Structure 1
Amino acid sequence: MRISKGLLFLLLFGLLSFVAYDAMAQCVVDTSTGFGLPASVCPDSSVALSNPATSANTWEWYFCADALEKAPTISNALLLNGNIITDPRLVRDGDDYYLFASSRETNELVRVYLGNSPLNAPQERAQYFNFSSLDKPEPIDFIQENGQWYAVVANIGYVGGSKSFVRLSFGNSLGNTPVATSLGDLGLPALSRGLKLVKQGGNYYMLVANATSNKLYVVKFGSSITNSIDASSIIQEVSFAAGNYIWNVDVFEDCGKVYAWVLGLLGNKVYLLNFATGLENAPTVYDRSAEIGLSRPAGSYSLRVGKKVHTVFLAETGGSLKHAFFSSDITSAPTVQTYSITVERIKGITGYFYQGILHLWAANYNTRVVYRLSFNGCDASDAYSTDPNPTVSYHGLGSRRVVMVATQGNGAQSIYEDNINIDNNSIIADFSFSGQCVGSNTVFTNNSVGNFANISQWTWDFGDGSPVSNAQSPVHTYALAGNYTVTLTAQALNGCVTTAVKTVSISGALVADFQYTGNACVNNQLTFEDLSTWSFNPPHATNGYYWNFGDGTYSVEANPRKVYTAAGDYLVQLTIRDAGGCMASVSKMVSIIQGPIAYFEPPALICQGNAVQFFSQSTGSIAAYEWTIDGQVISTEANPFLTFSTPGTHEVSLRVFSPNGCDNLYSQNVDVKGLPIVLFTSTPSRTNPLSIDFFNQSSGGVSFLWDFGDGSQSNDLSPSHVYSLPGIYRVELTATSVDGCSSSFAKDIEVGKLDRDLVLDSLWLPANGNTAKLIVANNGNIAVASFKIRLTAGEELVADTTVSTLLNSGQSQEIEIPLTLTGKDLMERNYLCASVNLVNYEDAQPTDNEKCIPTRNGLYVYMPAPNPANQSLMLRWVHDRQLAIDCQLYNTRGESVWQHRFDTFAIPAEYELNTSFLPVGLYFLKVSDGQRFFVYRVIIQR
């Protein structure tokens, strides 16, 4: 049910400070008219309240005003992301509620949407706004102007951060993405850690608590919160004693006056400032520190309900809450209540008086948990009502304060307060019970509230059809197990009757039973499983199970695990107890036998990376083995070879298993020696290419063995070796450490002058037209293991492959390569070219590695290049027959300026024509084999 705007004006300064209203109406509380109540009523009896303002438009009744003077209940409302979450602010926007906070170390504004009730869980994921102007932000407050929402947040200048103020503009809804505007630092020092926004008399103000200067600054925006501000906007400063660390301010408007609570963290200070003549005039300062008595005060929240004003203070650490309430004016001496709470590490609190109950929110800035503190200790049947003539009942004794706010159509309000008196001569029925076993006594203890001398009659109905009892605290025996509804009726001498109803679960016979799983061997883990039968009542929360394992050890777990360290017979007893106190026991014998004994001695020398054999020296009957290195199973052999990849200390374990499943574990740390690091380089002699100088660059070795790859060896540190023939030799160096561990390094070296020369002897197209054939020869003095073949038709790549075959010196091989283009497509490319290239080596004669053939009969001439030409022009052609080729160059007048006949038959053929003697201009090149000719335009330019 929504609270009217008028009542919010009455109760919450945090949300009403920016709305115009009749402030004086708050202090006019009618306590004489009353609600037409009888002198006293019975507990749990409905009381009809008479409305003294029937002509009003709306009415709001508050039946739990006294709950504000009781300890709150605390719950975890939500968990936020971020780092150092401070200064939560709960704000209502129409029917929507939002919770905001600052994340100081991530420079973010956090927004949580709670939907249509501040008590809801978040209705969507929290949103985090990171603006460039936010730099270590902390205090924030909100205000509304002409339907538009604004907030101001202070960057506190923590650890070198900015100390500026930032205005956030939300537009017409707090659900919008805000726009940030920097307002500058106003010339204030760092650590402005408290901030509140206030509207008074048509002007907007900001109150800033600064911990460095120990001052409260009043900053005036003027007629709009959107105005710019600077140092001249500070209209007054209120100074406090040095060392107080003034870091929080909360504003409360009451009876047309503005009050501010200012808190000093290190000085344990609580100041009340009374701006009786407005925020632009000096306030009266009251030091309430001794009266409140709070260490490290971190936040405050104030509200008025009827005649009383309430202020709640929280400590930053220490888990302390102080509740000060004032009988009339907030400047009067308060009554202070102290409560220990579980809320720690907070800065700032926020709140809302929702449907008659005050709820506060505070955030632990380290854990990011947001707590809700609800002052809901109320025994009324309803906390809140909007009916014009409601009814209410209370389950308690004594006086209860009721407040009603009536609102007229023009917004004018009338406030009424009256007390409902519950007759103290009444009795509030209540009881507890113990002993819930069938056939045993169930003892009922009368816990009713009130003076038992005022009792007229107790009536107990045990719910099993047995006669009622009029004893004060009777004893009853149930014959059958089951759930029974027990009712205690207390009738007082004044005629008031109350009842208490509770369900008693009577257990039937409990049967204790258990079994165990696992092999009953020494040092083997057994799992004991409860198989007991429970009746009606579950196991007792703390004493449900008690295991005696017969060896002096015990457990209270439902299904414990147990290891016996010695062979023998053990009597295991399980005792169970249900929630009603009923018990049963069972005992069983468990026989533990001795299993095999695992043992091994590690080898004297273990080298990194070298397999070494371990031998089991275990005793007893053994069916299986399990070897582990550093917890990883490596082998199931009896005497395995184990390899250690890293040096140092390693745990080797051997677990052995007997045929009946018993096992035993033996572990030992072994020292694995590291290997030498082996490395060498080689350089041919300057005078003899067959003589190689070797340079040992190893470390960790004390002896060395060289294998030169030609059957020769050496133990020198850095030897020289003369080879008889050139070639590639595999040279290996083995180094041995002082511990006796060896490692090797090998690489291939080239000895002497090595000529690698591949020749593409032939290229042709077989009749099938799907492949090309080549003959590749090795004209070098060293074998070739692989080479690449590329085929292009015209300018298109049609094959690219690596051939892995051994071609010894002087050997040739025919190779067939599949083509991606065949038939007409291949012919249209005019020519096919092939090239062979070594892999990872240079060819001594690369000019004989390419051939081209035409893909159709006759001559084909390539486009001359470059064209236009400068000093030379390259001519290339292919042909399928051995015919002479005539080349002629004509000028534009048809005169021959150059001609040549070529009788060589290289495929492809090419000739570089020197054009430096030719004048600049256009020429025509004609190439002919006597049967076919090609003509190309050629331009000479310089």
Structure 2
Amino acid sequence: MGWLSKKPSNLIKKLLLTSFVWIALISHCITQVTADFSASVTRSCVSTQVVFTNLSTSTAGNVVDLEWDLAGIYANKQSPSIIFANPGGYDICLIASDEFGNSDTLCREDYVIIWEKPTANFVNDLGFGCSPLDVVFTNTSTSNNGQIVEAIWDIGGSTNLTILENVDSVLQSTYIAPGLYSASLFITDDKGCSATIVKSKAVEVLQNPVFDSSFEVISGCELPWEVEFSNNNPDSGTTYEWDFGNGETFIGANPPLIVYDTINSFDLIVAVNKNGCTDTIRELDIISPGSPLNFSVSPLGACIDTELTFSETIPISADSIFWDFGDGSISTDVRPLHTYSVSGCYEVTMIRYSGECIDTVTKPCLKINPSPILSAHVDNQYACSIPIELGLTASASESGIFSWDITGVGDNKVLFGDTTSILINQIGSYNISLDYITDNGCTASFDDFPIVIEPFEATLPTESTEGCSPLKVLLQDDISSNLDVVSWDWTVYSGKKGLTGEMMTFNEENPSFMISDTGRYDVQLIVENQIGCKDTILIEEYIKSGVPPNVDFTATPLEDCILTPKNFTAVTSDFADAWVWGTDGTDTLSIKKNPSIILSSAKTWDISLTAYHNGCSNTTIKEDYLNILEPGVNYKIEYNCDDPYTVMLNNGTTGADSSFWEIELGRHDRDTF
């Protein structure tokens, strides 16, 4: 310690200064700068922007100067970027210098490799045509980088947008709607380089010719017939070739009158051509000179209440038609609808008016069948346990198809056949309906077979029977069931079942009897419903018969402040088993035998005590028994909807000299005033 207190000599000072200079020189001589950098991407396609990042370091200080050579582009930024527009390998160099002038150079040959884009192209075998037009597309794209690995087509039509990994496969699309369609192809090669080609008018779908015709028989009561055919939408750019089926043809938009002089049925064939798109219209048996008049009825073999359709079978329209259905009903509709309500054989007549021609057709017997007679039965329609098998049986007066529809808990089910079954595994309500259709189309049905699978449970009202002896008792069950209860077996035990006392038995629904002795009685009920389900319930001490107990009471203190508890003592018969304290025999204060009670307001109180024995009661009331001294605390809170954060506290306290408020504003915040 003594040496440290001395001042250093001049020699020591010189030695220390010399050492410091040597240390500085050595530190400067071993300083090293390490040039380094990275790139956001080193392998990519043309037009890619590459960002370079300086990673250079210096052991002496900060790197403060950067000289980048980005394939002939020079920069001095910390993170320069460049877009390589041409394919090839690019050298990247960086000279990094620190604040002391130390530097280092790093060059990396072919550090960035840029691949050229592939060439996207395709051909399609058809450029235009009539609808529907099938066009095949072939991918002719190439890549100098390697293989094309994906092709995304957007060509519209039936194919629309499609992604193909097998890029050499052809693609077909069908075009229906007329118009111009564009097509595009997006390709990607195995280096990840991509290209797109779009052909805006790759496919043109031409409009097919539209043809509509009508005809009118100018004279048609007897042969020969003169028929006028009309082209309803002639087009000057469309050619029409008519074949009338009688050996006559015509080329043009509107043919002349065509004459038919033989009894037969003739077809009309028209070939239509527009811009190379053709269509052929065939109307079979459209002209029937001398053909017998007739009409059809559907459906045949119908039943009563079935709607029938009546139609003439001649293709030439009439001016008007009169129908007589044979049951007193008529119609002037061309295709009338009619329903018969009684089965039988009906004569139906059609009178046809066409110009001066009047033709009549009569069918002597249109048979209308009666509705089928249907009967059905469901076994185990009601049950009280699961699983339960429902047997479904049906019969009908005619052969046909039976269809059962089961709805309810779980999935709906449909069963077929005149005899079938279904296993029910869940409690609940179900419904079965039956639809029946005969071989000739007549129908019948049953809409509702309710199925109820529910537990059968014996229950009694929750309130027991109790009161003073002698006690009149009326027993009733509290069973809720969709099925009728058919038997009741009541047993009343004086004491615990099977241990002590006598018993009474009854076999009626609601037995009535008197109990003269005091006590508590167990009640047992065994019930059975109409399908044989049984259940038993036993409730202990369900009937209680007692005598009125003696009732008196005391309380202390008889006069005091509100907050002082008042201790009440019941002085009743030893056999009393329940107590109700009140203010006047109605308002309940407590049901304890000896309660401690704080009365809520300053006044003179009447006190009542009702004591019970097995439900038999006796009451004592003492008027003006307790005096509660003021003050009596009371207050009211008023809220203001216009100012919800402010409330008004109204003090309703009586008999007070002063008031002290304590308000809890939050969990740990209180205010007093």
| Same-fold status (TM-score > 0.5) | no
Name the structure where strand makes up a greater proportion of residues. Answer: 2
Q: Give the structure with higher Rg (CA).
A: 2
Question: Shorter-chain-normalised TM-score: which range?
Answer: under 0.3
Q: Structure 1 length normalisation: TM-score?
A: 0.21
Relative contact order higher in (CA < 8 Å, ≥ 6 apart): 1
